Structures are given as C-alpha cells and as structure tokens.
Amino acid sequence: MLFTLDSQPQIALFSNLLEKGSSIKHFVSTTFSPTGVSCNLSLNVGDNPDQVVANRANLAQRLGVELDQMVFANQVHGSEVALITAEQAGSGAHALHSAIPNTDAMVTNAPGVMLVTLAADCVPILFFDPVKRAIGVAHAGWKGTVAKIPAQTIRAMQGHFGSVPSDIIVSIGPSIGACCYEVGYDVVVAADKAFGAGNPFVLMDMEHSKPVFDLWKANLKSLTDVGVTPSNVEIARICTKCHADFFFSARNGHNGRFVAGIMLCE
Ligand SMILES: [Zn+2]
C-alpha cells in the first residue's frame, strides 16, 4: 500500500490495483488533515452533514471524479450484495436517505460509477475483474467476516458478470489487526461455526487477556475457498488502531469513518 503525499486530501493506494493501470481508479482515504478539520466521510456518526458532504466533494475532486459518481450504502453488518446500475450513481453521496439500503457489498460493471465503502476498524475490501470488466466493494466487520461477505461478493460477480474467481484482483484494506482485535465469546463461537473449531483465525496469546480475531487471514480464507488466487490478493496489513493517526479507529475512540472506493473508467 502506497501513501500519496503530493496533494490533499491524502489517499492510499494498493499496489495490485495500481498495476492494472488507468482503466480503473481506486483509493483509500486517510484522516490526515493539514487544516485540522475532521476528514470524516460518514453521514451516520452525528457530524455536521454539510461538512461531511464538503469532505466527500473535496475527495472526489482529488480523485478527478464528480461526487455524483460515488455510491454509498447503508451498511448494516450483513452479507447482502447489491448490483449497482449506472442510473444509481450518486446514491447516498449527498444524503443518507438515498443510500443503497441494507447492504454491505456492492458490485457493478457500469463505467463511471465509483463504489464506496465506509470503515473504522472493519475491513474495507475492493474487487476488480480485469477480464469481464467488473468491480466490487465489501465491508467486513466480524459479522461480515463470519458471514463470508468477500465470498458472497465473488459469487455475485460470477452470477452477474460471468467472472471467473481466479481472474479477480482483491485488495484488503486497513482495519483493526490481530495485534489489537480482542473479541468476546460470542465472536469466538461465530468464528468457530464459520471456519471450523480450532481454526487459526481466533488466537489466544500471552499479550492479550482475551482471544484475538485475525480478520485479514479469515477474509483471505473465505476468498481462496471460492477460487480466488492467493497471489491476486493484497492485504494492506495496516492496523487502524495502531495507526489511528492515518485512519479512523472506533476502538481508538474515533467517531469518524474513512472510505475505500473503486471505479471502472469509461
Ligand atoms: Zn494494532
């Protein structure tokens, strides 16, 4: 993952998507703010909506797109995947009421539609099929991870666009890492149910008083289980709680959300 320092707002980029050239645009936003104004991009956390929309417009300008090309969902920690059409560009960009309802993943093959996912410790995941020219985004907290939302997104791309899983490039963004993600018994039970008892994703170690859940490895497993090639997956390996100076982290007491997005260029 690379961080741009040349122009504001600062964004981060995945190496595996950058390699695909100018046929797509993608980004992960950061919290870096030279003016001190919050870079929160969520309309759902009580911030002044005018400031949030201004932050989004600023980001869109930085990316060379219109805010009306971005699509936001009302994320609910589920496993639904919405198919987004060109006519839905701009949904949720200016106001919560127009966001795609009750979905944590979106896919499209419409050029010029930037799919966006919000996060602050949950895992933002980007998908690109360079063969069938289709993209996706997913938001995976522990609930989405045990519901295998990355696998659901791959299946949706297969169903809607005829994607072959081994063609799909996947980028797993900054999120809370196993270094910091202590979980309760309910999460351990759910992870065991999803990935089998004794799975390597829930760990006890000497440094933590509670089990820790490795969201990065669990989501990678759910991708490879449906045919994604491991070498096509980039994991940012950046813990949001450890790097709360660059990314919003709910467990570090932040209220805001950062976003990751991807778009097929015309
Ligand atoms: Zn950490």
Tell me the CA–centroid distance for residue 176 and ligand 1, in Å: 6
Residue 202 Cα to chain centre, angstroms = 21
Kindly tell me if the per-residue pLDDT of 7 is higher than 80: no
Q: Give distance in angstroms: CA of 98 to centre of ligand 1.
A: 34
Residue ranges per structural domain of the chain = 2-264
> What is the whole-number distance in angstroms between the Cα of residue 243 and the centre of ligand 1?
7
Q: How far is the CA of 177 from the centre of ligand 1 (A)?
A: 5
Whether residue 28 is predicted with pLDDT greater than 70 in this model: the reply is yes
Residue with tokens 């896919």: 107
Taking 80 as the threshold, does the pLDDT of residue 32 lie above it? no
Cβ atoms < 10 Å from Cβ of 232: 17
251 Cα: distance to centroid of ligand 1 (angstroms): 10
Share of the chain above pLDDT 90, in %: 86
Please list the residues that pair with 155 across neighbouring strands.
none
pLDDT in tens, 225-250: 999 999 999 999 999 999 988 899 99
Beta-bridge partner residues of 108: 135
pLDDT digits (tens, 9 = 90+) for 188-210: 999 999 999 999 999 988 889 99
pLDDT for 37 equals 78
Asked if the model's pLDDT at residue 93 lies above 90, the reply is: yes
Task: Lowest mean pLDDT of 8-12, 36-40, 146-150, name the range.
Answer: 36-40
pLDDT tens track for 99-127: 999 999 999 999 999 999 999 999 999 99
User: Which residues make Cβ contacts (< 8 Å) with residue 193, sequence separation at least 6?
Assistant: 146
Phi then psi for residue 28, to 5 deg, are: -125, 130
Angle at 228 between CA 225 and CA 231, to 5 degrees: 120
Report the separation in Å between the CA atom of 208 and the middle of ligand 1, taken as the mean of its atom positions.
12
The reported pLDDT for the residue numbered 215 is 98
Stated pTM of the model: 0.97
Q: For residue 8, how far is the Cα from the chain centroid? A: 21
**CB distance 107 to 80 below 8 Å:** no
Average pLDDT, the chain: 94
Residue 231 has a pLDDT of 98
* Beta bridge partner(s), residue 159: none
Residues 6+ apart with CB under 8 A from 142: 183, 187, 190, 191, 213, 215
**What's at 250, amino acid-wise?**
A
pLDDT of residue 31: 86
What separation in Å is there between the alpha carbon of 32 and the centre of ligand 1?
19
Q: Which is nearest to 263 in space by CA: 55, 49, 103, 113?
A: 113
The SS3 of residue 234 is: strand
CA–centroid distance, 238 to ligand 1, in Å, is: 8
Are 148 and 79 in contact by the 8 Å Cβ rule? The answer is: yes
Cβ count within 10 A of residue 189: 13
Q: What confidence tier does 34 reach under pLDDT thresholds 50, 70, 90? A: low
Would you tell me the crossing angle of helices 215-224 and 149-161 to the nearest 10 degrees?
Answer: 30
Q: What percent of the chain has pLDDT over 70?
A: 97
Instruction: Name the token pair of 21.
Output: 């050239």
Instruction: Give domain 2-264's CATH architecture.
Output: 4-Layer Sandwich (3.60)
CA of residue 239 to ligand 1 center, whole Å: 5
Distance 209 CA to ligand 1 centre (A): 15
Eight-state DSSP code of residue 73 = B
pLDDT, mean of residues 205-217: 94
